[in-house]
Amino acid sequence: MLVASTAQIGLGQGRCFLIGSRRIALFRLRSGEVRAVDAVCPHRGGPLSEALVGCQTVVCPLHGYKFSLADGRGLDNGLAIGVYRSARRGEKIYLQLAQPADGIPGPPIAAGAPPGEDADDRAGAAKPDVQRLVAVGLRPR
């Protein structure tokens, strides 16, 4: 689903988006790639969207817990965060909320859609989660 535009997230920064009842931290790495994880640290609820982020690591701003952006595992702790499939196509950022089961990758984002275009973009319809984002002003925290 279409979640944001690159203009909403500075290079090397993260923003929190409310999608349905989930808080998702969306990062735009300095390489231009995008990553999405749960926005709340499982240790003490720290805001991961405000975390230090590197190529493959996010560091909670409250207590410095480190997590892998690839699989969500704690790098210096026994905790884990949810990781979501994300993709950048032009200036649009897409997200797939369903996590793969047992490490088996899910279908590609916007399967069958031409590059830079989601099937919902072509149909002119927005999914309910996108409608909720628009209803709250699509404002990252």
Give per-residue pLDDT as tens, 78-102.
Answer: 999 999 999 999 999 998 887 544 4
User: Are 97 and 129 spatial neighbours (Cβ–Cβ below 8 Å)?
Assistant: yes
Instruction: Say which residue, 34 or 140, is predicted with more confidence.
Output: 34
pTM: 0.68
Question: Which residues, including other chains, have CB under 8 Å from residue 104's CB and lie 6 or more apart?
Answer: none
The answer to whether the Cα torsion of 53, 31, 122, 98 is positive or negative is negative
Tally of structural domains, the chain: 1
Please give the mean pLDDT across all residues of the chain. 76
Residue 124 corresponds to which tokens in the numbers above? 């002119």
pLDDT-derived band at 26, boundaries 50, 70, 90? very high
CA distance 44 to 80: 13
The parent domain of residue 43 ranges over: 2-135
* Residue 93 domain-assigned (yes or no): yes
* Residue 141 domain-assigned (yes or no): no
* Residue 140 domain-assigned (yes or no): no
